[in-house]
Structure 1
Amino acid sequence: MSDRDRTSDGKPQNARPRDALGRPLPYGEEGVEGIPEDAQFDPDEAITEGQRLLDHGYPFHAHEVFESVWKSCEPEERPLWQGLAQLSVGLTHLLRGNVKGATSVLKQGQARIRHYEDEPPHGLDIDGLSAWADHLLTEIERGGPIPEPPTPRLRMP
């Protein structure tokens, strides 16, 4: 018998509670409510909800919101939503203390969103997000602790 949670059709599922950064907690512990797997957001809702989650220290959950859009959007916008999800995951890794993972995913996310800098869709601040990622990557490269990384701003001011 497997020790992993599975749906009735055998699909892997993790019903364990999770902390604010998406790490699994032992069964029975109080966790943070996640984003339902079947959640659907339109782009404006996703940006608003993603910003709310980032503002409250839940970048892992913001990534799940952006991921839900990338799975259902038009092909020409998939890299945008993948990039936003990767920036959120990069911040998650940084807050978890995984600087190698943070560096890799921040670079990937930044490269994806840069394709939209000439005509930023949905009021997104592509230049600001890229500068935010550059700042974090510079701080990581310096090698010192990053006690409180700044929260990214998704929309243009």
Structure 2
Amino acid sequence: MTRTPLEELDPSNRILKRAQYEAFVFSLLDGDVLVRNESHANPSEHEYRVTVVDGIPTHCECPADTMYDGPCKHRVAIAIRPCILDVAMQMGLVADGGVVTHRSYFRSDRIDETKAHQCDCEDVDNDFPCWECFRTCQKELPE
């Protein structure tokens, strides 16, 4: 059985809660993710690059990631957001010149076909999803 990224990181309850409630903004960087914490008065001073390897946020530039045992809140914030992690993995493959050859298990675990919403992107000829379909992990970006 494959372990989820959150199971791999095994964060403390304190870190998990902070990763859930703080106002993080994510930007993709060649397979890595830039995490900005908008909860602070000066968010630009709380912006860190998180390295993603094989679907696991493995390293963060923040001081807490090296100073303390266990993962920092930035790594956990990515691990609990499968859409962000999935896109980071796909972007990493593109940046490395690779080809996406499989569907990530993160999306298939999250899609609930009975709750799928009706939207305008279903009638569009191209494969590009609308924001709501992508945000809710119902459709992936085209390869």
TM-score clears 0.5: no
What range is the shorter-chain TM-score in?
Answer: 0.3 to 0.5
Give the structure-1-normalised TM-score: 0.33
Larger helix proportion of the pair:
1
Larger strand proportion of the pair:
2
Give the structure-2-normalised TM-score: 0.35
Q: Which has the higher contact order (CA 8 A, sep 6+)?
A: 2
